[in-house]
Chain A
């Protein structure tokens, strides 16, 4: 009974939770989530071999995200000079709304993960999923910065290499237009066996518990009056 009603409203509830969680993010938690993204992204950005006096990722008072990405390259056919140009780093800035897609993934993931019965085991899975999602978002932000930085350098050439440009375009497309949106779904499927079971077999995540209770009852000796 419980499992049947759970199954019936599984997808409508999943959609409603997305409305709820994404609405909460957009109207209330937008700025705090960006601050959290900035904080968590310090870990992968900290691995970049930047100069000690420079921070690879900073957010200024106006909310603009500033990236300084170390790149060691020599541009021999530069559009700016006739002599070869040594490139040590590429810096650029982006408005907050450009990096916001990386912060939305937590809420999409939570909206999906909360669409399962809350138990201690599920709570553990949700926390694990959140940790994985945090890593994915932070690394994807680093990827965004790296791809943009390399794109700037690639376009410094008088005749940019077509294959390099295509590879950068492909990497950017996947990192910026696919990972922030598909990531939470993949993390969910990787961490929640209940969702996988529901998806492939149509069995509710609450069903095994009910079956267990029934089988335990059947083992009890029956008293006949």
Chain B
């Protein structure tokens, strides 16, 4: 299987468009909200387990000081996961390699996003300006970079495994 750039770009665009379409369909809303909800509650549980103090209330995680952060669309890592999945699906590799790429890629994105959410919770209590910078720009880029690193490693492994 050889990589044909034109075919890859077209498949990538189609896969991304389809997945974003599904993401925004009304019938997937409960699943997305449920995922965001579980991320907020898991983050609060982790903080409390490690000795910190956080309280999860629906999609908001609050500190005892009253500071709270809300998990919204675009913050739950799903956008980057869709882009990574589109790249994995569009790349010429075996079905098994693609399955591995989808599962491990999802874990790589959401693992880092989990850390991002917890770090933003603490950063927001320290400085609003730094919080905005990290939340809207820095972390977004670092998660994209994470996806790119994962994709690179996966491409090389899936080639080496052949």
Contact = CB atoms under 8 A, between A and B. Distances in A.
Contact of B152 (A23, A174, A199): A199
A114 B140 CA distance: 19
Interface string A21-63: 0110110000000000000000000000000000000000000
Interface stretch (B37-45, B58-66, B96-104, B141-149): B141-149
Which of under 10, 10 to 19, 20 to 34, or 35 or more describes the interface residues of A?
20 to 34
Nearest to A101: B136
B20 interface: yes
Contacts of B145: 11, 14-15, 18
Given A198-B152, A199-B151, A22 B144 contact: no
Interface stretch (A153-161, A177-185, A211-219): A177-185
Interface string B9-26: 000000001001101111
B126 to A, nearest CB: 16
Which of under 10, 10 to 19, 20 to 34, or 35 or more describes the interface residues of B?
20 to 34
B156 A200 contact: yes
A79 B73 CA distance: 29
Interface of A: 11, 14-15, 18-19, 22-23, 25-26, 100-101, 104, 108, 111, 166, 169-170, 173-174, 177-178, 181-182, 185, 198-202
Interface of B: 3, 17, 20-21, 23-26, 73-74, 79, 83, 133, 136-138, 140-142, 144-145, 148-149, 151-152, 155-156, 159
The 9 closest A-B pairs by CB, nearest first: A199-B152, A177-B74, A26-B133, A181-B140, A200-B155, A18-B141, A108-B141, A170-B24, A169-B24
